[in-house]
Structures are given as structure tokens and as C-alpha cells.
Amino acid sequence: MTKVALVTGCSEGGIGFALCEALAFRAVTVYATARSLDSMKALDHPRIKKLVMDVKNDDDIQQVLRTIMEAEGKIDLLFNNAGILAAGPLIDHTVDQFRDIYETNVVSLFRIVKSVVPLMAKRKEGMIVNIGSVVGDVPSVWTGVYDSSKAAVRSMTEVLAMECRPFNIKIMLAAPGSVRSKIIDKQGDYEMVPNTIYGAFHHNVLDRLALGYTPDTITVKECADGIVGRALSANPPSYFYIGGQTRLLRFLAWLPRVWAMSLMWRTFSKPAPKDKMT
């Protein structure tokens, strides 16, 4: 029987877009969602159906779920991919920016699983894949708000995995490292906020963002193929790391915490080269 998948955050250029293509290639019926249909117009496959859904809007979520259940009668796979990246010193973010990041990366994930888990529980079958990040294991300086939101995603996923055991619902956390995606490209023009106390570290923030372009950085297609391949396997893993820098960050996770944080700070607090100083 054909599997049915719901994927969030499917705008072109991102991991969600590539997840939809990878799933369709494997004969899965895919419901791709994003805040606008225009952002998904390049998704052109007979197995992919596109729906508008803002993950921060409860009415949108319920409408999408009704549409899928009326058409398919089930949801076999849920890929919680929607998320936003935010760079800069922690205290340079406004409270509204902080709330928006958590609303998108954490609260919205809760909104969706709260509605989808009961549907899967009735059938005693299903799988949920939450897209986290390696920085959810080891936070990196200059992306603290994003990193802390992904740490929350990891914790929620672990609890969900335990609490879904009675209903035969499989839970997987996919933790990408460096992936060349739209979410990274959007940070290319980063500028410090006016009157920041961290002005001397602007080049360090740019160095941190440059990790998205290291030699071992993978494409969104490579990332999506890896995640979908594991999710559809006979024994999907609870955790799946993929992408550049994952080995390094997993190594840091095994170090005493104070060592890991000290190394992270030393790496991204070096003075600017003289030829770049003004």
C-alpha cells in the first residue's frame, strides 16, 4: 500500500523541498507544505501535492490535516522540517525575534505532533522525523538562539520517542551538520545590530556562518536522500547525523562540557587578520 507523507517547510532551495522529491522518487504520496504555493512551484511530480500551511497557524494545520485525511485516510510519515536560522550574539536579538524563532522551530513542531500522533495511534502505525541539528548537541557561539531551539527539538524528540512506544509510532531525529541550503545562504549578508557591544567580533560571526560552506558540506539532495533512506529502512535509527562537521561536533559532545565550550570559544573569538582590520 502506498505510504502518505506530510512535509513542512518545503520552499525551494531547502531541505524540505529535497525531502519531497526524495520521497516521491520512492513512490510515496507527498503532501508538501509551505506558507505560499509560489515558493513550491518548482515541485513538479505527480506524487507531490502542494498545500499552503503556516506552521505557526493552528487553523492552517487543522485544514491541511483534514484535507489529507479526507483524501488518503491516513498519514504514515511526518517530516517536521520547518525552521529558521538566526545568527548573532545571543543578547543582540530582540525578545520578539527570540519568540519567533522558538515559535517556528519548537512550538510549531509541538502543534503538529499534538494533532498527528493521535491519528497514527489509532492505527498503531506511523513514523515522525524531526529535523534537528548537530548544534542541538553542542551549541556553537554566535548562533545561540537557533542552537538552543534545536536542543529543545532534541529533548522533545527523545520524550516523544518514549511516549509513542505504546502506539508503535517510530520517532527519528535527523541532525544535519553543514548543508548548503537556502537557510544558510540567507545569512550571507549578516550585519551586526547598531550599538552592539560585540562589534569587534563581527568577523567571528561571519567565520561561524562560513561553516555552511566547508569542503565536507553536502547538498540538500544528499541530505534528503540520506534522511529518507534511513526513515524508510526496515530499522530506522533513533538518531541520524548527516552533513559536514558532524564528526567534529559529535567528538566535542564526548568531551567534558567545559573543554568543548572553551574550544568553541577559542575557535570563534580570534582577532581579525591585520589585512581585514580597518
Question: Residues 114-171: pLDDT tens digits?
Answer: 999 999 999 999 999 999 999 999 999 999 999 999 999 999 999 999 999 999 999 9
User: Given this model, what pLDDT does residue 188 score?
Assistant: 59
pLDDT band, residue 275 (cuts 50/70/90) = low
> Is 278 a residue whose pLDDT tops 50?
no
Is 22 in contact with 226 (CB distance < 8 Å)? no
CA 167/CA 121 separation, integer angstroms: 5
CA angle at 237 for the pair 129 and 244, rounded to the nearest 5°: 80
- Please enumerate in sequence order all residues whose Cβ is within 8 A of that of 82, keeping only pairs 6 or more positions apart, or say none: 8, 9, 16, 55, 104, 105, 108, 109
239 is catalytic: no
Judged on CB neighbours under 10 Å (0-12, 13-18, 19+), 150 is buried
Alpha helices in the chain (DSSP H): 15-25, 58-72, 95-102, 108-123, 144-163, 182-185, 202-209, 220-231, 246-254, 257-267
User: Given this model, what pLDDT does residue 115 score?
Assistant: 98
* Polymer length in residues for the chain: 278
Grid coordinates given for 191: 550585519
pLDDT, mean over the chain: 94
Average pLDDT over residues 104-108: 97
Domains with residue ranges and CATH for the chain:
4-269 (3.40.50.720)
> Is 187 a residue whose pLDDT tops 60?
no
Grid coordinates given for 255: 568531551
Q: Tell me the whole-structure pTM to 2 decimals.
A: 0.94
DSSP state string for 161-207: HHHTGGGTEEEEEEEE-BEE-HHHHTTTT--PPTT-TTGGGHHHHHH
> Is 227 a residue whose pLDDT tops 60?
yes
User: Given this model, what pLDDT does residue 124 score?
Assistant: 98
Please pick, among 146, 213, 239, 241, the residue that the annotation labels catalytic: 146
CA 260 to chain centre: 23
The rounded radius of gyration (Å) of the Cα atoms in the chain is 19
Q: Around Cβ 36, how many Cβ atoms within 10 Å?
A: 11
